[in-house]
Amino acid sequence: MLLTIDIGNTRIKCAVFEQNTLLEKIIFNEKEALFFFKKIFKKFNKITFSISSSVGKLEKECFDYIEKHSKLIIVSHQLQFPFENLYETPATLGIDRMVLAAGASFAFPNKNCLIIDAGTCITYDFIDANKKYHGGAISPGVNLRYKALHNYTAKLPLLKKEEIDYFIGNTTNKAIHSGVINGLTYEIEGFISQYFHKYQHLTIILTGGDADFLAKRLKSTIFANSNFLLESLNFLFNYVQTQND
């Protein structure tokens, strides 16, 4: 069994795989981490390997516990990836974005892929049919947009996302919701349109914590999978194992 660990900016997401089958997904925050890792290894005592990618924080005590109960691979820029990296500053490229690009190259071989990760930030990453990673874009995620409007103004309230069916907000709260949710939807559609203009044959993958919320609002044909990063870690682990054989 394999434990995949995605340490994000706000949450830690884990999944247990038996070969390529996802058995269970667990989500928790940094303060709860050690408790949940103990729970995971107790329930799945056949976990022998683990692989972790991180853009956030995890206490050393947790890493020590994971390494005590499994052979841990920490994804870094030094790891061998299954694509050619054309990013001009490869050392600054987020590990999560590299893992997603790797996953796209495995899940959709010989396809042009745009991976949109809707989490704390919205990241756009493009890998072409020849397994060349080109880069993409980074913008604020849904919750960051709400927080920015509240934190950098004197009177705007802090709201949480909700489903809306209007374009014109006739109250301050509705105007904020329209600006955040419709604005982000138009942004994503705009990026997709630009990529389609250059690459007619394009596979679009939408993932991240807000993937399901956004997917129903998008007109474009997309492959929505909130577990894609965890699955990509599983793909990458298998790739690393074959390179070491």
Amino acid at 238: N
CA–CA separation, 206 vs 226, rounded Å?
7
User: Catalytic residue at 96?
Assistant: yes
**Measured between alpha carbons, how far is 108 from 99 in angstroms, rounded to an integer?**
14
- The length of the chain in residues reads 245
Strands 84-85 and 132-140, bridge-based pairing: parallel
**Sign of the four-CA dihedral 195, 197, 201, 204:** positive
HSE-CB for 217 with a 13 A CA cutoff: 22
* The one catalytic residue among 6, 64, 96, 212: 96
Name the one residue in this structure whose structure tokens are 């044959």: 201
Active-site residues, by number, are 96
